[in-house]
Amino acid sequence: MRPRPGEVLHFSEDPTIGTFVPHVAATARQGEAYVWAVDGDRAPDYWFPRQCPRAMVWCVRGTSAADRARFFGPGGGERVHVIEYDWLERLRTVELYAYRLPAAAFRPFGGPVPHAVVATRPVDPLGPPEPVGDLLRLHRDAGIQLRVLDSLWGFWNEAITSTLGFSGIRLRNAKPDEGPRAQAAVGTGTKPEPSPGTGPSGRTPPPVRVRRRLTPPA
């Protein structure tokens, strides 16, 4: 599920949206009201249930051969997505929809490489929402490795120190990080109090400091 030329996509579990009205998202780090959408490069970031925590990596200019081998292994490809076992059934059963929106109404957001596009005025879809369908099949057909782990944090903590591009979405909904780095932070009193999350098991997740790098490492 990708946008066609002249389009961007908004993914939603709500098939009844008639007009997209700018709003301040609950997870936003800025105060401006936007309509949010993504282009073709960022569309796979949203082939998930809305609240599903996921860690994603892909090759960029400057990715080392060692990191490519370490993260991609014999499975190959250019991209790996990781979710937790607690979210697998939801991934398999969610009814996700894609709204096609006019690209001309949007501008890039984020830098130095944009991770989304935004509009500041109401936007009407170009047509009715389209069911995205089987998300496992979507990953397979796109050549994306989809991995399921008990916890995201071992993978994520390695990803953010690698030469890969990476992105983490809804990480506050993940299971708590109980790895050695997290335990060391607790032991030194440097780990701030976590905020409540909305994971399927009602667990309280840790804070997330690093979210994405889309550009090559310095």
Over residues 80-127, the pLDDT tens digits come to 999 999 999 999 999 999 999 999 999 999 877 778 999 999 999 999
Q: For 3-152, where are the alpha helices, taking DSSP H only?
A: 65-72, 88-93, 135-141
The CA distance from 40 to 78, in Å, is 15
CB atoms within 10 A of CB 40: 14
The CA distance from 35 to 38, in Å, is 10
pLDDT at 182 over 90: no
- The answer to whether 154 touches 179, Cβ cutoff 8 Å, is yes
Q: What is the pLDDT of residues 130-167, one digit of tens each?
A: 999 999 999 999 999 999 999 999 999 999 999 999 99
Q: Which residues contact residue 187 at a Cβ distance below 8 angstroms, ignoring those fewer than 6 apart?
A: none
pLDDT at 168 over 80: yes
What is the pLDDT at residue 30?
A: 73
pTM: 0.80
Q: How far is CA 185 from its chain centroid?
A: 26
Per DSSP (E only), the strands in the chain are 7-12, 35-37, 54-58, 79-84, 97-102, 107-109, 116-119, 130-131, 145-149, 165-169, 212-213
Q: Which residues contact residue 99 at a Cβ distance below 8 angstroms, ignoring those fewer than 6 apart?
A: 9, 10, 11, 12, 17, 20, 125, 129, 130
